Structure 1
Amino acid sequence: MESKKEFISVPMNERNGKPKDLFFIWFAANIGILGVVYGAMIVGFQLSFLQSALAALVAALSFVLVGYISIIGKNNGITTFKLSRAAFGMKGNWIPNFLGWLNLVGWLSVNVVTGTLILNSLSNVLHMSQNHIITVICLLVFATLVLFSGLLNQDQLAKLQTFFTYVFGGLTLLILVILIPETDWHQLMTMPNGSWLTGFLPAVSIIMAGTGISWSIAGADYSAYQSPNSKNASVMNSVVLGAVIPLFVIMFVGILLSTSVPDIAVSANPIDVIGQALPSWITVIYFITAVGGLVPQCIISLKSARVNLETLNIRVSDRTSLTIHGAIMILIPIYVLFISQDFLYNFQLFLGLLGIGIASWAAVFIADYYFNRKDGYDIALLSNNGAHIVNRNGVISWFLGITIGFLFTNTDFFSGPFAKGIFKDNSLGLLLAFISSYVCFVIVQLFFNKEGHGDGTKSSAK
């Protein structure tokens, strides 16, 4: 590992980004055709058409959390988990930081699995024989494509994401327009209302886990490169609109398509099922579009994973970082593709479990900022050499939220003692984790921390 001086803030000569850059970064990250699967999953909670559409919109608006954290990153010119050191302390931040890294490489692996399945389907359309060798080749091709993106700097990333937005965003829209006529409108409009408590809320929470909550850990990683003169409102609007517009539209089409292609939400290869619903003349374009829509998500995950690794004081060269993440990108998909062979199940399990920890982290992070850091972060709280070792307020609030979240969650690995009734077999534990961590931090802040500065004092990060 390389020994390098730690730079807390992004150098001013690199802070020349504009809010529109954030719009294209988050738009491109949400044009993936997998959003159709999200829409079908929502309907699977036995909701009516209007309930499903509302659930999709509310879940997509979870990107307000990413927008808020992006403002914090812009105001301070510091990436997400370096800022998080103030809320948790230098050592207290290690576990949330590692969990964030795990979330990013997990998402990266999930998207590589999806990309491999898409290329596999494309090879089938091109009349190539289907076997393990072809699957391995597809995996290596997609993983190599993603790894090359790890060599991009911030300006190159913004330009590439803009390209993806226009090209693959347009192609995705074309595919969606072709899919819409497949809708069984009578069935759609006659679906009965489901339970708002046991259907609507769990549907919203599972999609939030995979969208706004999951991406919150990367919010400041990109806004830290924004010009200090960028307006907060512009940053918020660019992030939220850039993410919500494509995500909601694609999920909405997934809701419509669930009536004519009900297997989307239960298939081991949902992308292939969607392809079968299209006319044969456009299937090749569809699969290319699907691959193109996944690459931007992988780029963001790979870049932020590298940032998180450095924040954990694991400072390695670009080549070593790409080697580490490349190995993970190959090994996890190999397990999913050749051993587990149940993509969607592992996908939902992954979202639910990691989402609890990330939700609790996000609650503590924004609560700490609101109460203690609005005037800026004290660099001493963010430095490796600082005395700010553990922020008990943040760590206790985070741990309490996670504990409550798991107590109300059941999976194949364990069953929380309170995961019964309305909490059984859903992801409401994630929302409880977020609320519990936030409320706990507020109580500690108001009643046990009279000075209101956490474990450190406020001062400008400039």
Structure 2
Amino acid sequence: MSLYSRLERRLQTQSDDAGPVRGTYSTRRLFMIWLAANLVVTTLLTGTLFVPDVPYGLVLLLIVAGTVAGAAVLVAVGTIGQRTGLPTMALTRGPFGTRGSLLPVAANVVILMGWSWVQAMLAGIALDYIVATFTGFSSPVIFAVLCQTIVVILAIFGHAGVARVEPWFAAVILAIAAYIFVVSFISYSPPEFGSITAGAEPFYSPGLVFDVVLATAISWTVLSADFNRFARSTRVSVVGSGAGYTLSTVISMSLGATAMGYVILSGGEAVPFDPVTIIEPFGWLFGVAIFLSVMATNTMVVYGMVTTVVNALPGRRIRFLPTAIVLGIISIIGSTFFGLLNQFTTFLVTIGALFAPIFAIMIVDYYVIKRSSYARDILQPTGGRYWYAGGVNWLAIASWAVGAVLAYVWAYVWPLPFGSTAPAFVVTFLLYLLVSLPSRSKGTFTPTGNLADEVDATPAAKAR
């Protein structure tokens, strides 16, 4: 057997994690996973977008409100993962059908690819600042390509190690966050932050701030069941992920808003979503921390993207290594598209438009229509109760289409004062509930218990 073949076989075994699994994580461990996951520069820089367009105090309130609302969706989907032992994209087979689930899977790959590009660019900008400080050489594009190349290599060979050290990077970010908060509020009082005024033509409104914060939670929900399925109980899933995500997001976004306020009060140029803007006032060590945190998180994003494709359909074997190479090359090329950073708000709103309706459908389907239970049929490549009509549940597809279109219209055609993500979620939730209730009342679906329990009860599982 060649070296390539041995490597591919080992990686295929590691990536074959479509479940179901029985969770063992404690509340503390799951809390630390979610705390580490969102203590990253992308979330921090999102907070820099809101000041000075919206008053500082109101920004902090909207960050809390949007995070709590988004965490409710994240926890609901994550708990389905805990109860079934399945990752998020595998769970979409329940409402959308075995083949219909390829729609959210494709959307997930596109979104994760976008995240990998954005984070590679930010890591490249941070590394460029550090190198330029000591050598004078500057080329953000070259450094972004270099960073993403390292990320792809780590995603293939070292993702497990990166996952273990990521909480340490989170600890570093927490220490830096404490330092920035202390410096900011020693230098300027809270009333001075509150007195910062918006420019002549502010882009952000309070409604758009709430929408972006909520969309951030929606973007993380694509991984919620992937993490929470390892929780040992429903309580662990709810408390660990809810508290971890909420705390990390509020800290990160508030830190970004505070750092931007500090820059403005200090007379600096307020360039939103630019790492250099907040690195310069606090030193190059902050740039090192940003670089490391982005690299760690982006490695897991790329690895998650590859495993999503590998496990797209039950019973189908897609080879891990060639998939990783192809997607890795695309992610490296895309890391040169620096114009995407100027469209970050549009990117987040697009995530909300695509996935808020999907998660609304998933929540209705599992908790109401399927009565908090999915059967083993969800693991079948064909046939069974999740085959619907040729593998597709057209009621779910139609409900998703309505929700996605409305999200677009309410964001760009007739903008709503409170954003588009929440209304699209509510409308899709009610629509899918309305069209799917007849199947529940007819007893088409009945509770069958936890999938992980069923798998553990099989002779093969007992032999293990």
Give your verdict on TM over 0.5.
yes
- In structure 2, the partner of 1:123 is 131
From 188, 210, 214, the equivalent of 1:204 is 210
- Is 1:8–1:383's contact at 8 Å kept on the other side of the alignment? no
Alignment of 1:287-436 (within 5 A): 287-313=287-313, 315-336=317-338, 340=339, 343-387=340-384, 388=387, 389-410=391-412, 416=413, 419=414, 422=416, 428-436=419-427
Distance 1:166 1:407, change over 3 A: closer
Which letter does structure 2 place at the counterpart of 1:86?
A: G
- In structure 2, the partner of 1:165 is 170
Alignment of 1:41-190 (within 5 A): 41-46=49-54, 48-61=55-68, 62-130=70-138, 134-151=139-156, 156=161, 158-183=163-188, 185-190=190-195
Quote how far apart the aligned CAs of 1:219 are. 0.8
Deviations 1:133-185 (A, max 9, x none): x4344224322332243246886465223332334433443344334445464
Quote how far apart the aligned CAs of 1:375 are. 4.2
- Residue segments in structure 2 that go unaligned for 5+ positions in a row: 199-203, 455-464
- Is 2:126–2:291's contact at 8 Å kept on the other side of the alignment? yes
Which letter does structure 2 place at the counterpart of 1:43?
A: V
Distance 1:11 1:260, change over 3 A: closer
Which letter does structure 2 place at the counterpart of 1:246?
A: S
**What CA distance in whole angstroms lies between the structure 1 residues aligned with 2:224 and 2:236?**
15
Deviations 1:37-82 (A, max 9, x none): 3223233443x33321110111222123222222211111111111
- Secondary structure of residue in 1 paired with 2:205: helix
- Secondary structure of residue in 2 paired with 1:309: helix
- Residue segments in structure 1 that go unaligned for 5+ positions in a row: 411-415
Distance 1:437 1:184, change over 3 A: same
2:26 paired with 1:18: yes
Which letter does structure 2 place at the counterpart of 1:450?
A: S
Distance 1:137 1:254, change over 3 A: closer
Deviations 1:77-122 (A, max 9, x none): 1111111101111122111211011111111111111111111111
From 18, 24, 40, the equivalent of 2:48 is 40
**What CA distance in whole angstroms lies between the structure 2 residues aligned with 1:168 and 1:384?**
43
Distance 1:104 1:7, change over 3 A: closer
**What CA distance in whole angstroms lies between the structure 1 residues aligned with 2:41 and 2:188?**
17
Aligned residues: 426
Distance 1:233 1:164, change over 3 A: same
- In structure 2, the partner of 1:222 is 227
- Secondary structure of residue in 2 paired with 1:428: coil
**What CA distance in whole angstroms lies between the structure 1 residues aligned with 2:321 and 2:252?**
36
**What CA distance in whole angstroms lies between the structure 2 residues aligned with 1:44 and 1:186?**
14
From 261, 274, 279, the equivalent of 1:270 is 274
- Is 2:35–2:245's contact at 8 Å kept on the other side of the alignment? yes
**What CA distance in whole angstroms lies between the structure 2 residues aligned with 1:247 and 1:109?**
21
Distance 1:188 1:171, change over 3 A: closer
- Secondary structure of residue in 1 paired with 2:345: helix
- Secondary structure of residue in 2 paired with 1:91: coil
Percent of aligned pairs sharing the same letter? 18
**What CA distance in whole angstroms lies between the structure 2 residues aligned with 1:312 and 1:430?**
26
**What CA distance in whole angstroms lies between the structure 2 residues aligned with 1:77 and 1:353?**
29
**What CA distance in whole angstroms lies between the structure 2 residues aligned with 1:175 and 1:189?**
17
- Is 2:184–2:262's contact at 8 Å kept on the other side of the alignment? no
- Is 1:88–1:391's contact at 8 Å kept on the other side of the alignment? yes
Distance 1:75 1:301, change over 3 A: same
**What CA distance in whole angstroms lies between the structure 2 residues aligned with 1:452 and 1:297?**
44
**What CA distance in whole angstroms lies between the structure 2 residues aligned with 1:329 and 1:307?**
15
Quote how far apart the aligned CAs of 1:306 are. 2.0
Distance 1:190 1:165, change over 3 A: closer
Deviations 1:398-418 (A, max 9, x none): 1111121122222xxxxx3xx
2:235 paired with 1:233: yes
- Measured on the aligned residues, the alpha-carbon RMSD in Å equals 3.1
Which letter does structure 1 place at the counterpart of 2:277?
A: V
The normalised TM-score by structure 2 is 0.82
- Is 1:180–1:257's contact at 8 Å kept on the other side of the alignment? no
**What CA distance in whole angstroms lies between the structure 1 residues aligned with 2:159 and 2:293?**
19
Distance 1:104 1:37, change over 3 A: same
- Secondary structure of residue in 2 paired with 1:142: helix
- In structure 2, the partner of 1:445 is 436
The normalised TM-score by structure 1 is 0.82
Deviations 1:161-219 (A, max 9, x none): 333233443344334433444546444234689xxxx932321111221x210011111
**What CA distance in whole angstroms lies between the structure 2 residues aligned with 1:247 and 1:169?**
12
Distance 1:44 1:365, change over 3 A: farther
- In structure 2, the partner of 1:413 is none
- Is 2:263–2:281's contact at 8 Å kept on the other side of the alignment? yes
2:448 paired with 1:459: yes
Distance 1:440 1:319, change over 3 A: same
Which letter does structure 2 place at the counterpart of 1:85?
A: R
Quote how far apart the aligned CAs of 1:285 are. 1.1
**What CA distance in whole angstroms lies between the structure 2 residues aligned with 1:121 and 1:8?**
40
Which letter does structure 1 place at the counterpart of 2:19?
A: S
- In structure 1, the partner of 2:201 is none
Distance 1:108 1:405, change over 3 A: same
**What CA distance in whole angstroms lies between the structure 2 residues aligned with 1:264 and 1:126?**
22
Which letter does structure 2 place at the counterpart of 1:367?
A: V
**What CA distance in whole angstroms lies between the structure 2 residues aligned with 1:7 and 1:191?**
50
- Is 2:34–2:248's contact at 8 Å kept on the other side of the alignment? no
Deviations 1:337-359 (A, max 9, x none): xxx3xx54221121112320111
- Secondary structure of residue in 1 paired with 2:383: coil
Which letter does structure 2 place at the counterpart of 1:205?
A: D
**What CA distance in whole angstroms lies between the structure 1 residues aligned with 2:238 and 2:146?**
36
Which letter does structure 2 place at the counterpart of 1:297?
A: T
Which letter does structure 2 place at the counterpart of 1:459?
A: T
- Is 1:24–1:158's contact at 8 Å kept on the other side of the alignment? no
- Is 1:71–1:236's contact at 8 Å kept on the other side of the alignment? yes
